[in-house]
Amino acid sequence: MPIPLFNSIASWLLKKRYHQIELFLKYPQEVQQEVLEQLLEFADETVLGQKYGFEDITSYETFASRVPLVTYEEFEPLIERSRKGEQNLFWPTEIRWFAKSSGTTNAKSKFIPVSSEALEDCHYKSGKDLLCLYLNNNPDSQLFKGKSLRLGGSKELYEDNGTFFGDLSAILIDNMPFWAELSSTPSNRVSLMSEWEEKMEAIIEESIRENVTSLAGVPSWMLVLMNGVLEKTGKEHLLEVWQHLEVYFHGGVNFNPYREQYNHLLPGGTFKYYEIYNASEGFFAIQDQNNSQDLLLMLDYGIFYEFIPMDSYGTPAQKVLPLW
């Protein structure tokens, strides 16, 4: 498919999605209740679903009283069984991927199950929604006339007991749909390199030849790459390398400590920054307006949200509240 035609079709499809986003902005409780019903129905014949009787849960109140709040450590034995190849434990479709994450309370790595539904209906859907929101706010954008420079983690996928585990970004790149790969740089081969220094050099070599219109990645890692590009090209700032660069999609860490350095590398005041909130567990929120520090919680990604007020967290009076 010619690139201009692909870009036009992609822009049209992404803008259509905005109407659905407006619906969950208007009816958040109804959308979240529907998500809960769908999850319970889909998983009612799993080991977990039969244990808690998902089949006859018809209200949030019943769900909250029947399904206990648990920590990752309490759930870990079920995950370990799944990692060894056992299926239908907590999700009815095959689980083959596990996103390796760190930072649990016991300082051990944790392995987050990633289903094909999680990839399609959460992580990849969020990528399309990010573009949808950006295009809605910037109708004159030339984003699709170039490519997105993505910078993911530097880990390989390792096979273990018939299942795979690795950095979430590696899992996403390895399963990436064709439309995303067509509009991205570097190639999947380079993106999945495990040796960091070699990988950075390869990304620079590939990307400086492309018409890069957007950046995507963690600010600390991206800053290293940006400085490497300037060192390689001898340019003063990045807009001399990529004249049509217009936005940086960032997440993972607080951006404020990096803002001044980015403004120096991307001068002019018209460059845009869009923040996202994603994790191995799922993709949660997207900045939905230009020049905003607020993020929109995405309510139709197959995630049912509950919250614990911090003034009761970890106490005997701990409360769990639904979104509404």
- Domains by residue range for the chain, with CATH: 118-155+177-297 (3.40.50)
**0.85 surpassed by pTM:** yes
How far apart, in whole angstroms, are the C-alpha atoms of residue 58 and residue 65? 12
pLDDT of residue 126: 94
Burial 96-133 (b: 16+ CB within 10 A, else e): bbbbbbeeeeeeeebbbbbbeebbeebbbbbbbbbbbb
| C-alpha closest to that of 170 among 183, 159, 179, 161 | 159
| C-alpha closest to that of 69 among 323, 278, 308 | 308
pLDDT per residue, tens digit, the chain (324 aa), is 455 555 566 667 776 788 889 889 999 999 999 999 999 999 999 999 999 999 999 999 999 999 999 999 999 999 999 999 999 999 999 999 999 887 555 657 899 999 999 999 999 999 989 999 999 899 899 998 999 999 876 556 778 888 888 888 888 888 887 767 778 999 888 888 888 899 999 999 999 999 999 999 999 999 999 999 999 999 999 999 999 999 999 998 999 999 999 999 999 889 999 999 999 999 999 999 999 999 999 999 999 999 999 999 989 899 999 999
pLDDT of residue 160: 80
Tell me the one-letter amino acid at 274.
Y
Six token digits for residue 317: 């009076």
How far apart, in whole angstroms, are the C-alpha atoms of residue 211 and residue 34? 42
pLDDT of residue 10: 63
pLDDT of residue 167: 86
pLDDT of residue 177: 73
- Any idea how long the chain is? 324
pLDDT of residue 18: 87
pLDDT of residue 107: 54
Find out whether 282 and 101 touch, Cβ atoms under 8 Å. Answer: no
pLDDT of residue 268: 87
